[in-house]
Every structure is written in structure tokens, then in C-alpha cells.
Structure 1
């Protein structure tokens, strides 16, 4: 089984409540979604979100993530075995430095594919579930509030 096709999409999802951090308020999430399809028809999904407008100062925007995926990372993984996660991610680090948000989308999609191939939850591929439920927090008016 090999990766046969990679499709990248830029999406915008409005938040129920704007996401507030110290430097700004964001009303919608801008996410890059990656769809990897194998030569056997299996599909893996990955995603990378830029939750703050502050990231352009660090060089990452949804548009740069999309461009790096389309121009560099996705072409490099076509024809590769998606279950060779560490090899692929190491090769991508050699191909282009940084761009962790773009590489995150690839990592998610590869793990999704591997979980489907082996018929196990992704947490099992990462050493097993530590807990079955987690508290989630969100920045809101400068305070961490538990959802």
C-alpha cells in the first residue's frame, strides 16, 4: 500500500464564541485539511489550524501551510508507505526545515491511515490511552476556563 494522492484544502470555521488570547481575538478558525488516498483506496485525514493572527510573525499562516504542503511536502510523500511514519517525517525534516504546522497535517493523516490499516485507535499507535476523558480548557478574557 502506497500513498497515491494528496489533496489540500483551506477551510474557515466560525467559532461559537471568539477565541481570545492576550494579543488578539479571533472570530473564526482557519484550518488546512489534508486528504491522503492510498493506491488501495484507503483515506487518511490530517489537519493543521492557525488559531491566532500572531503566527505570521513566526512565518506561519494558513496560506503558507497550504503552499508548503502543495509545493514541497505532499509531492515528497507520494509513492511512500504511509505506515513508515518515522521515516517519512524524518525525510520531510531533511527536505525543508521548520514548517511544523504543515508537517502536523501530514503527521495526522499518516497516523489516521496507520490506525485504519492496523484496525486500532491512534492512541494505541502512540503507546495507549492515558485516560478515557480529558478536561479541555480555552483562553477566554485572559482566564483559562474549563469547558
Structure 2
């Protein structure tokens, strides 16, 4: 079972509403899709979105890496020797994690198809259904309150609220407005996207604790490189602190876990470089008694399907942030995971279950 061909395609899908964080505003979801064809006719799919402010990758750089570096190195390789193949893939490039992730998921898609089982079963098969949160973009307090109420009305009982774009006082007003609109039975997670410094983060989180705003966790409150600051925040507050942009690689996960700098870790395939590395990060965290979330960038249902298969295969993955496809104005993916409000069902078909991509 050898790799016969590796093709890339560009895609662009508008969002129905702009997605705003402390780092960026997204109005169109762009991606490089990968199509990997084996000599036995099996076809695997992968996806890599450009997220310059996080991974440093653009559409052009992703396409170039795959076509000019990865493709020449892996075409002709035997997929059944996949440990060697994944190790080789990771060694080909420094960083460029999304480019590697797209090829990684296409390889896994082919492998699970070869064994005629869904990918989540190939990876471990812990569960078949997941529930996603829904993200409230950072806007004025009033607009965020209205958005949160609308998402709750649509059946979402966990909201991921973006903060960190303005001053701490404004962020607290945002959460107060949301709580006023949705009550206290809905779970709220905050994501600062590196928008605070450690001292401001401690001040903000302690204030929200004093106000009984009932925040489940705060994701990446400080800049990615500031592991010491992340630890200061984790030690200073009662609220759970989650590392996101601070953890791309297993080595970075090890540093965060060794120093107890966070209570939780958010794994994204686009940061990790694919499922092969994501499994290592989760295994390290599980050994240390630290639960993980699996999240995503702004991706289509293809990339989210791969992330969901990985998340469903692992007991230690206890939180799921897979709302990105629900933000898109159209769906260009045939097959894959299905949504019923916040509930996600994995497909029964072998591999990722992707039948076609409309590019």
C-alpha cells in the first residue's frame, strides 16, 4: 500500500458572521485541501487553514511546503510502515505544523480505510458522540450578551467567550452582561488568546471569582512564550487555567506539565502537526493527571472531522471545541461528522468518512 499521488487544492468559504478574537478577525475561511491517493485506489483527505498569527502559515506557504518538500519525500512510501512515515514527516520541516497536519490526517484516513474501520476506532474507539461548545466573538458587552442568548436558545449549554482585546474592566463587563442574559446554568469558558499580561490576568480572574461569575476555565490568558507568567496565573487563582498557544509540540507540553504551569491543555491538530503528535501530547498529559480539550482553527468540516475522530478515541480528552463548521455560510464537504445542534456524531464509514470535497 504505497503513496501514489499527493495533490493540493485551495478553498474559500465565507463565514455567516465575522469571527473576532484578541488576535484577529476572520470573515472568510480559507484552506489547503490535501488529496492522497494510494496505489490500491484508496483516497485520503486532509485540510490546513492558514493562521498566520498563531502558526505563522499562509495559504502559499502551506501549499509550497506540501508540494515542494513533503510530496517528493513521501510519494512511493509504504503506508503500512506508518511509524516510520510519521516520524519522517515530522522531521522534514521545522514548524509548518498545519502543512504537516493536513498530510498526517490524509495518511490516517487511508490507513483506517485499509482496515475498513472508522478512524476513531483505528485510534482507540473510546466514544462515538461528542458535544461541542459555541464561541461568542469579542464585541461590545451588549452585542456579546445578545449573541450568547441566541446560542443558548439554539441549544448550546457551553459557551466559549472571547476576551482579551481591550482592558480588563471591559472584559468583566462582557461576562456580567452575558451572565445577565443567560443565567447561571450555562457553562462559560473564557479564551483570552494571549491578550492579558500575567498581573492583569490575575486581577481579572480574581475579580470574576469575587463576583461569582462562575467561569469554568480561562484559556491562554498570557502570551504564548510566557510559561512563567502562565504558572503565576495558575497558582494565583481558583479558576482552571488552560494552555493553548503555549503548547504546540510534545516537548512544550512536557515543559508546561513538568512545571505545573496550567491545569488543562488545548490540543489542536494544526498546532501539533497532526494526529501522530497530538496523541503524544495527550498521553503525556494523561500520565500527569491533566485533562485535555481538542479544539481547532477556523476549519471546514473536513479538518474538524479529523480532530473529532482523534478526540473521540481518547478518554483523557474531556472537552470539545468543534463549532467552526457551524460558522460557515456553506458546507463544501460531503460525508464526515454530523451535527445536531451541539451534538456531534462520528460516521460509520471507514477512515474519516469523507466522500467528496467540493473545490
Q: Does 1:96 align with 2:93?
A: yes
Task: Describe the shift of the 1:21–1:113 C-alpha distance in structure 2 as closer, same or farther (beyond 3 A).
Answer: same
Q: Is the 8 A contact 1:48 1:104 kept in 2?
A: yes
**Partner SS for 2:131:** coil
Distance 1:31 1:90 in 2: 24
1:144 equivalent in structure 2? 160
Q: After superposition, where does 1:4-23 map in structure 2 within 5 Å?
A: 4-23=4-23
Q: Which deviates more from structure 2 when the two are superposed, residues 91-100 or residues 63-72?
A: 91-100
Q: Is the 8 A contact 1:20 1:140 kept in 2?
A: yes
Distance 1:118 1:12 in 2: 32
- In the TM superposition, what is the alpha-carbon distance from 1:53 to its structure 2 partner? 4.8
2:39 equivalent in structure 1? 39
- In the TM superposition, what is the alpha-carbon distance from 1:96 to its structure 2 partner? 2.1
- In the TM superposition, what is the alpha-carbon distance from 1:79 to its structure 2 partner? 0.6
2:67 equivalent in structure 1? 70
Rg larger for: 2
**Partner SS for 2:103:** helix
How many residues align? The count is 144
**Partner SS for 1:115:** helix
TM-score (norm 1): 0.86
Which segments of 5 or more consecutive residues in structure 2 lack a partner in the other structure? 140-158, 162-322, 324-341, 343-359
Q: Does 1:120 align with 2:117?
A: yes
Distance 1:139 1:54 in 2: 20
- Structure 1 vs Structure 2 CA RMSD: 2.0
Q: Encode CA deviations 1:46-88: one digit per residue, 9 max, x unaligned.
A: 11113x4524xx5311210110000001111101122333321
Which segments of 5 or more consecutive residues in structure 1 lack a partner in the other structure? none
- In the TM superposition, what is the alpha-carbon distance from 1:131 to its structure 2 partner? 4.9
Distance 2:5 2:60 in 1: 20
Ranked by relative contact order (alpha carbons within 8 Å, sequence separation 6 or more), the top structure is 1
Moved over 6 A (4+): none
**Partner SS for 1:133:** strand
Q: Encode CA deviations 1:102-144: one digit per residue, 9 max, x unaligned.
A: 0000111011101111111111122113351222333512672
1:54 equivalent in structure 2? 53
Q: Is the 8 A contact 2:133 2:160 kept in 1?
A: no
Q: Does 1:81 align with 2:71?
A: no
